[in-house]
Structure formats: C-alpha cells, structure tokens
Structure 1
Amino acid sequence: MATDQDPAPPATERRRVWTTPPGVALCVEADIADPGSRGFVLQIGEAFFHGFVVRKAGQVAGYVDRCPHQGFPLAIELDRYLVPDGSLILCGWHGAVFEPMSGACVGGPCAGARLTPWPVEAVGGIIRTA
C-alpha cells in the first residue's frame, strides 16, 4: 500500500498501434464459429494492436477494436462482438450496431460511421493478416 512517503509509481499507458504487418497467422478458420467473432491482441515491438475478426457465411472481415463513437473497445465480454443471432456487430457500451462484412454503422450513436478495417484473409484454412 502506498503512503505519502512511498507514493505509487505513475500508471503507464501501453502504446497502441493501428496496423499490423501482413502474413501474421491468427488462428485456424474453424476456431471462429460461422457466424462468430474473436478478438486478438498482437504485440508489435513495444506497442500493442487490438483487433477482432468476424466470420459470416464463409467470409472473414477484420476490424480495429475501437468504436467510432467514443473510441472504446466494442466487446464488454471476451470475443462477444456479435448480437446473439450473429447478424450484426454490437458495441456493448452504447449500443451502436454495424454490418459484419462492411463495418458500416447502421444504428445507434454513430450511425453513418464505419469501423476501421483491419486487413485479414482466410487462405488454406488459416486466417492471417493481409
């Protein structure tokens, strides 16, 4: 416990990056349900990238895990980026909803905005950064 004589060290923020190098293997395609989603945190040097992948109708799309409304990560619960029926991506903080394959906001406080795309691809059953 910190006292006046022994103050706690200041909190340090983890540096963030918003892009990743191509060709990084993320997971086996079958690791993500269809429809389904999964979050990823990648260390790039001394910084960290936060993103998620959505799989729907045999296609995959990736996004930076940051809502355009207030910049919060979208999921409140690990890997729960989709509404229960898998039809839309949901920002659990303020209720914005997004089309899974385009990232377009179709309802909520940032209607008309878009999620920031994270280039990913599924080739040979492996999802990789593109």
Structure 2
Amino acid sequence: MGLLLRWVFAFILLALTYNPTQWNYIRWTMENYLEETPLSVLLGLLLVIGYIIYLRATLRSIGGFGMLLVLSVVGAMVWVLYDWNMLSLDNPNMNTWIGIFALSAVLGIGLGWSIVRRMLSGQYDMDDVED
C-alpha cells in the first residue's frame, strides 16, 4: 500500500503541474499571474518543494541509471500495448496522460524503492533503521 500511495502522490504532483485539462498550475498561472502573483509564487514554491523531495529521494534511492531503467520499462509496456492495438497514440491528450503516468511511475518507484528492497530481500537500508 505504501508504494501505491507514493505513486499516487507523484501522479498528483505531476498532474497538478501540467495536464491536458484546464485544471493545472501552468495554465492557471499563465492566465492569472498578473492578478494573482503572490498566490502563483506560493503555489509554484510548493510544487518545487514536492519535486525536490521526490527527485532527491529518487536519485538517492535508484540513481540516474535506475530512473532511466524504470522509464524504459514503462516505455516498453506502452510499446507492447500499442503493438497489441490496446492503446492508440493518435490522441495528444492521451499521450500527455501517458507521459504523466510514466514520470509518476519513475518518481513513485524511486521514493518507495526502500520498501520494495526490504520486501524482496528482508534487509533494511541504513536510513530505515531506528535508534
């Protein structure tokens, strides 16, 4: 459950930043920056904090190569679904959601990799051990 929750929060972070609907930070800020500058800055800083937490934990946990590997696996899954005609890539909005899903999978797995490692090996990371 912990890994799923970390992925959901990563998905929400990415979708709040940008998605193909009108409900995202980028579009809202472009339309309201002059009238709502302080709120735009505050929300932008909160999003940056979320990205720093996820990216720092992901880089420490699985590193750049691990991020590339997870993204490759997600890309290969999309390719298989496309090849089996279960997925169409003609819709740009759907492609954006697929990209958000792929990036959130990388961030969610990166943040929760210690949980996965502990489940598979039974070993704790040094950061997981309590005093």
**TM-score category, normalised to shorter length:** under 0.3
Bigger relative contact order, structure 1 or 2 (CA pairs below 8 A, ≥6 apart): 2
When you count strand as a share of all residues, which structure comes out higher?
1
When you count helix as a share of all residues, which structure comes out higher?
2
TM-score normalized by the length of structure 1: 0.24
